[in-house]
Structure 1
Amino acid sequence: MATARYSSTAIALHWSIVALIVIAFALGLTIDEFPKEAKSAAINAHALIGLAILVLSILRLSWRVATPLPPAPASLGRITLLASGAAHAGLYVLMIAIPAIGVPTLLYRGRGLDFGLFSVASPFERTPEIFRPLTDIHEIASYALVGLAVAHALAALYHHHVLRDGVLLRMLPGVPNDEG
């Protein structure tokens, strides 16, 4: 079966973002388990990974807008295509919104960012009445992103193992393009 694939740039951005989301989510879940002397570094790493997700997601969305999508398999129906479009839109919104919420959350905690070569101090005083609700929104949105991403992955596996329609092969790295 011929499989119209995404570009190597789209594939690299996709899997890089996936890896960073997994790491950021794991850090976010375990941040309170870090010893006191390592907690600040873990929070900073979480924030820097979040910024990387934001930048790569904007690049990915820009690439997607500028680069035509490969044609979907003819077997996909209208409802499936609409559901896929809605899921992808939700993923993009969350991948951009979560770090965009996380940065002010960090800053309103009175924390800055250490980029290694330079640091950016928070311009704000520690303001719990701002950072606490932002933290809640950031966490809820993170769970929504992971839930939607898991549903997305399960749908891809369903297409691959049950429908056998080549949908998963379109985004897997290292799969040769069958189109010749």
Structure 2
Amino acid sequence: MQALSYTATAKALHWLMAGLIFTGAAIGLSHAYMSTGAMLFWLNVHYAIGLCVIALSILRLAWRATHAVPPLPATIAALLRHLAHGTHLVLYGLMVVVPMSGALSYFARGKAMDLGLFQIPPLLARNPHLASTMLQVHGWLAYGFIAAIGAHIGAALLHQFVLGDEILSRMLPKGFIRLPPLPRRAKATD
């Protein structure tokens, strides 16, 4: 019999990556409004987050491939099941491709990546055209990733609070407060 909830490891990876991706996106969206010194610091944080997301994505995909996913409730229509599956495939793909495109953009500058405690040497010869192109690709993919994350969050909230099938509860940490669905309005009778 399949579990009704994700494993503790799957939940930990999900929420750790959610925090890292949210932070990385916030830095990516706001760095242009920072002073030069602050921007350089936060971009290094952004790069480090990207590398962590790549590593954690590989771990998460390996975990997902070797551990059963809890089944969706039987009340969920086939179309919604296909949409959920497709959205998850897009999210997993973008978890890898967005930070990889950013890393490719960075390394195409021919520079070492300074992460404070250590440096990653230049992995590519300097190629300004590739760096510029990949930076644009990274930006557009990141916007798509943000949209897919928004759809994912919206669907989880819809299922939890409106449809009441507790999809969100399957990914919440053990002992987290139970989130009941919103109360249903009574139907008006004539």
Tell me how many residue pairs correspond in the alignment: 175
Name the stretch that deviates more: 56-65 or 120-129: 120-129
> Which residue of structure 1 aligns with residue 184 of structure 2?
none
Task: Give a deviation string over 1:18-39, Cα, whole Å, max 9, x none.
Answer: 1111110111112222222233
1:54 maps onto 2:54 in alignment: yes
What is the CA–CA distance in structure 2 between the aligned matches of 1:148 and 1:40, rounded to whole Å? 28
Deviation at 1:123, TM superposition (A): 4.5
What is the CA–CA distance in structure 1 between the aligned matches of 2:7 and 2:123, rounded to whole Å? 41
1:59-70 to structure 2, matched below 5 A, reads 59-70=59-70
User: CA separation of 1:74/1:112 partners in 2, compared to 1, >3 Å: closer, same or farther?
Assistant: same
Q: Percent identity?
A: 35
What is the CA–CA distance in structure 2 between the aligned matches of 1:129 and 1:113, rounded to whole Å? 19
> Which residue of structure 2 aligns with residue 105 of structure 1?
105
User: CA separation of 1:162/1:58 partners in 2, compared to 1, >3 Å: closer, same or farther?
Assistant: same
**Contact 1:10–1:60 (CA under 8 A) maintained in structure 2:** yes
Taking structure 1 as the reference length, the TM-score comes to 0.90
Deviation at 1:125, TM superposition (A): 5.2
Q: What do you get for the CA RMSD once the two structures are aligned?
A: 1.8
Deviation at 1:121, TM superposition (A): 2.9
1:131 maps onto 2:120 in alignment: no
Task: Give a deviation string over 1:96-122, Cα, whole Å, max 9, x none.
Answer: 001111111011223322233321232
Deviation at 1:92, TM superposition (A): 0.4
What is the CA–CA distance in structure 2 between the aligned matches of 1:117 and 1:128, rounded to whole Å? 27
User: CA separation of 1:77/1:123 partners in 2, compared to 1, >3 Å: closer, same or farther?
Assistant: closer
Detail structure 1 runs of 4+ shifted over 3 Å in the superposition: 123-126
> Which residue of structure 1 aligns with residue 157 of structure 2?
157
> Which residue of structure 1 aligns with residue 27 of structure 2?
27
Which runs of 5 or more structure 2 residues have no equivalent in the other structure? 179-190
What is the CA–CA distance in structure 2 between the aligned matches of 1:119 and 1:19, rounded to whole Å? 24
User: CA separation of 1:124/1:59 partners in 2, compared to 1, >3 Å: closer, same or farther?
Assistant: closer
Pair member with larger Rg: 2
Secondary structure at 1:158's aligned position in 2?
helix
> Which residue of structure 1 aligns with residue 76 of structure 2?
76
Deviation at 1:41, TM superposition (A): 2.1
> Which residue of structure 1 aligns with residue 92 of structure 2?
92
> Which residue of structure 1 aligns with residue 169 of structure 2?
169
Secondary structure at 2:122's aligned position in 1?
coil
* Counterpart residue identity of residue 138, structure 1: H
Taking structure 2 as the reference length, the TM-score comes to 0.85
Name the stretch that deviates more: 65-74 or 84-93: 65-74
What is the CA–CA distance in structure 1 between the aligned matches of 2:55 and 2:71, rounded to whole Å? 27
**Contact 1:54–1:99 (CA under 8 A) maintained in structure 2:** yes
**Greater relative contact order (Cα 8 A, min sep 6): structure 1 or 2?**
1
